[in-house]
Amino acid sequence: MARFEGKVVLVTGGNRNTGLDIVEKFCREGGRVYMCGSTPESTAKGAAALASRGCPGVRSMPCDVSDLEQVKALFDVIEKEAGRLDILVNNAAHQGIGKPFVEMDPAYLTEVLGVNVRGGFQVTQQAVNRFFLKQPERGVVVFLSSNTAMRAIRNRTAYCASKGAINAMVRAVALDLAPLGIRVNACAPGYIYTERWDVLPEEKKARRRLNCPLRHEASGEDIANVVAFLASSDSSNITGEIVTCDAGCSCQHMPEDVDV
C-alpha cells in the first residue's frame, strides 16, 4: 500500500517551485492532495503544471493564508469535499526579498510576518480545531522553515525573523498539541534549486555550490522527501523538531575557499 493512501493532505503554496514537488510527492504516494497559491491566476498555473506532471487529481483553490476569511473558506471546501484532513504542510512563504534593514518600512515586516507566521498559525489552528481534534487518527503538521532562522542572510531581516519565529512557534505548538496526539515539526532548507536559480549566472551557481559542504543545493524533491518523512508514521516519535536539510551549510564556519 502507498505510504499516504487514504490520507487527505493540504499543501499551502503548492503551486510553484518547492511546493509543486511536495504536492507531487504526496500525490505519487497515494495522498488526496489540496493545494493553494495566493491568487486565482497563480493557483491555476500551478494546477496546470501538476496536471502536466501526471498529478491530475490534485484539488487547487486560491487562498491568501494571511487572510483568515480566505483560510476559513478553504477549510470549508475541504470539509465539504473530503470531510477530513490528515496532513498539513505550511509551505507558503513571503520571501521578503530586497529590503535592506535601514530602508525597510516597519509595515513590510508586518506584511512578511503576516504570511509566514500569522499565515502558518491560522492555517494550523483551523486544521487542528476543525479536523485533527475530531478524528481518532488525529493529524500531523509540517512547517517549512529555513536555515536562515539560525544563520542570517543579508537584506532579509523580515524573512529571517519570520523563520526564527516559525521555529519557536513549532516548538510551542508541538508542546501544546503533543498530549492530544498531534505532531508538529519543521524542515529547514538551505539553498533549494528553484526558478530563481535559473536566472543566475553559472559562476554564481558554482560559488553557491562551493558554499555547500555536500557541493550541491537541494532539489525540491530532496525537501519533499524530508517533509514526507515528517508527515509519515516513520517519524511517529518526533515532535517539536527542526530538521535541517542544507547540504551541511549550517555546520561549517566558512566555505572551503576562504577557510584558514
Ligand X SMILES: NC(=O)c1ccc[n+]([C@@H]2O[C@H](COP(=O)([O-])OP(=O)(O)OC[C@H]3O[C@@H](n4cnc5c(N)ncnc54)[C@H](OP(=O)(O)O)[C@@H]3O)[C@@H](O)[C@H]2O)c1
> 192: Cβ–Cβ under 8 A, 6 or more apart, which residues?
17, 18, 217, 218, 219, 220, 222, 223
Q: Which stretch binds ligand X (CB under 6 A): 32-40, 76-84, 102-110, 251-259?
A: 32-40
Site string for ligand X, 170-209 (x = CB under 6 A): -------------------x-xx-x---------------
According to CB under 6 A, which one of 10, 32, 55, 66 is a site residue for ligand X?
Answer: 66
Q: Is 7 helix (H, G, I), strand (E, B) or coil?
A: coil
- If binding is defined by CB under 6 A, does position 16 make contact with ligand X? yes
Q: Catalytic annotation on 159?
A: yes
- C-alpha distances out from residue 67 to 43, 64, 71, 114, 122, Å: 16, 6, 6, 9, 9
Q: Report the distance separating Cα 215 and Cα 257, nearest Å.
A: 12
- If binding is defined by CB under 6 A, does position 115 make contact with ligand X? yes
Nearest distance from residue 6's CB to ligand X, in Å? 26
**Are 166 and 143 spatial neighbours (Cβ–Cβ below 8 Å)?**
yes
- If binding is defined by CB under 6 A, does position 42 make contact with ligand X? yes
- If binding is defined by CB under 6 A, does position 60 make contact with ligand X? no
**Are 157 and 104 spatial neighbours (Cβ–Cβ below 8 Å)?**
yes
User: Which residue of this chain has its Cβ atom nearest to ligand X in the complex?
Assistant: 13
**Are 96 and 162 spatial neighbours (Cβ–Cβ below 8 Å)?**
yes
- If binding is defined by CB under 6 A, does position 93 make contact with ligand X? yes
According to CB under 6 A, which one of 10, 13, 139, 212 is a site residue for ligand X?
Answer: 13
Quick count: other Cβ atoms within 10 Å of Cβ 8? 22
- In terms of CB distance, is 91 or 235 closer to ligand X? 91
Q: Is 101 helix (H, G, I), strand (E, B) or coil?
A: helix
Nearest distance from residue 180's CB to ligand X, in Å? 25
Q: Report the distance separating Cα 89 and Cα 219, nearest Å.
A: 18
Nearest distance from residue 203's CB to ligand X, in Å? 18
Q: Which stretch binds ligand X (CB under 6 A): 76-84, 86-94, 134-142, 176-184?
A: 86-94
- Say how many Å lie between the first and final Cα of the chain, rounded: 52
Query: Count of H helices and E strands in the chain?
Result: 9, 7
- If binding is defined by CB under 6 A, does position 117 make contact with ligand X? no
Nearest distance from residue 163's CB to ligand X, in Å? 7
Residues forming the site for ligand X (CB under 6 A): 12-13, 15-19, 36-39, 42, 63-66, 91-95, 115, 119, 144, 146, 189, 191-192, 194
Residues with catalytic roles:
159
